[in-house]
Amino acid sequence: MEDRNLSKALDIISALINGEEISRDSKSSSDLYDEYTSNGEVFDITNSICKKLNLSLYEYEYSIFASAGENNRVFGYSNDELKKEIGVKLNRELFLCYFIIYNLITWFYNDTGSYTFNEYIKIEDLINSVDGTLSEMIKDLSVYTLNEVEENSFKMIALAWEDLPVMINEEANAKAARGSKYGFVKMTLNFLIKQELVIESEGRYYPKKRMKALAKCYFEEYKGRLYEIMKGDSKDATY
């Protein structure tokens, strides 16, 4: 292993951990992108170190992105940290946020065959999406091969959602809060904005390139259990 290649690999990892974009078209990081994609040893060292750090690397549209792996307490969030960051207090509220985010991802990422993305989503669209998917899932729980934890989790999410009014009053239209479906969705979207995954313009929420990369790579590589249930394909589900 050459010291230079190790140094370049560490430069790449440092940039990703600090939230910098590594892209072919970036003036500040195009050299790092070239090193990662054209130097086999730099590529191998970078991925090996990231694996040890429980980080996943994704390539998308000539850019590289990093995401914390499951239970990564250094680069990710604990449940309590996430609740504080988003602005919720109860576990069922946090699970509802996860479900809202999942609906957002499936809205932007349609299928693995075409890699098609919707351009944007509005809060009303996301409310309708959550309404629809929860309604279908709760109605058909008996047809899925669910364990007790999964079934109780979906029921808990549904109860938390159904207890919320769509909107408290006209003022709630502009607020992110736990008291309504509109406010709950906006609170979740505000968290994604802070994470630089989406941007908002005139009430429309657009996925950033990092969001698209995570969505595409997640479905392509992992195709999680929730996705299988939402699509009604439990026979080949991955647990």
* Domain residue spans of the chain: 3-68, 79-230
* Alpha helices (H) in 140-207, listed in sequence order: 148-162, 181-194
Residue pair 73/83 in contact (Cβ under 8 Å)? The answer is no
Q: Rounded mean pLDDT of 205-209? A: 92
Q: Is the pLDDT of residue 152 over 80?
A: no
The pLDDT of residue 24: 94
For residue 222, pLDDT beyond 90: no
Contacts of 127 (CB under 8 A, 6+ apart): 166, 181, 182, 185
Q: With a threshold of 0.75, does the pTM exceed it? A: yes
User: pLDDT-derived band of residue 171, with 50, 70 and 90 as boundaries?
Assistant: very low
How far is 114 from 15, CA to CA, in rounded Å? 31
Residues facing residue 64 across a β-bridge = 22, 59
Q: Look at 36-45, 48-57, 83-92, 154-163 and tell me which has the smallest mean pLDDT.
A: 154-163
CB 67 within 8 A of CB 43: no
Q: Residue 66 in contact with residue 130, Cβ under 8 Å?
A: no
Residue 172 has pLDDT above 80, yes or no: no
Q: Is the pLDDT of residue 142 over 80?
A: no
* pLDDT at residue number 174: 61
To the nearest 10 degrees (0 to 180), the angle between helices 3-17 and 30-38 is: 120
Question: pLDDT of 32-79, one tens digit each?
Answer: 999 999 999 999 999 999 999 989 888 888 999 988 877 777 777 888
Q: 55-60 and 198-201 as β-strands: parallel, antiparallel, unpaired?
A: unpaired
